[in-house]
Amino acid sequence: MTQINPEGMKTAALSDTQFTNLREAEKKINETAGNKQEIYLLAVTRDE
């Protein structure tokens, strides 16, 4: 698994359309996995 450095990350402020697109992508990924596991997509930003 890839190591992710969470330092400086915060939840991204998404528009309704962006949030809907994120949820639809999440749904497609889970359907492709045969619903054998739940995969969650997160939207974050990082202060640099």
Residue 3 domain-assigned (yes or no): no
Percent with pLDDT over 90 in the chain: 60
Residue 4 domain-assigned (yes or no): no
The whole-number pLDDT of residue 35 equals 67
pLDDT at 13 over 80: yes
Residue 21, domain extent: 9-46
Joined together, the tokens standing for residue 5 give 């450095």
Residue 38 domain-assigned (yes or no): yes
- If one compares 2 and 44, the residue with the highest pLDDT of the two is 44
Residue 14 domain-assigned (yes or no): yes
Burial class of residue 17 in the structure, from the number of CB atoms within 10 Å of its CB (0-12 exposed, 13-18 middle, 19+ buried)? exposed
Residue 24 domain-assigned (yes or no): yes
The whole-number pLDDT of residue 1 equals 60
Please check whether residue 9 is in contact with residue 45, taking contact to mean a CB–CB distance below 8 angstroms.
yes
Residue 1 domain-assigned (yes or no): no
Residue 27 domain-assigned (yes or no): yes
Number of domains in the chain: 1
Residue 40 domain-assigned (yes or no): yes
Question: For 21-44, how does the pLDDT look when each residue is reduced to its tens digit (9 = 90+)?
Answer: 999 999 999 998 786 788 999 999
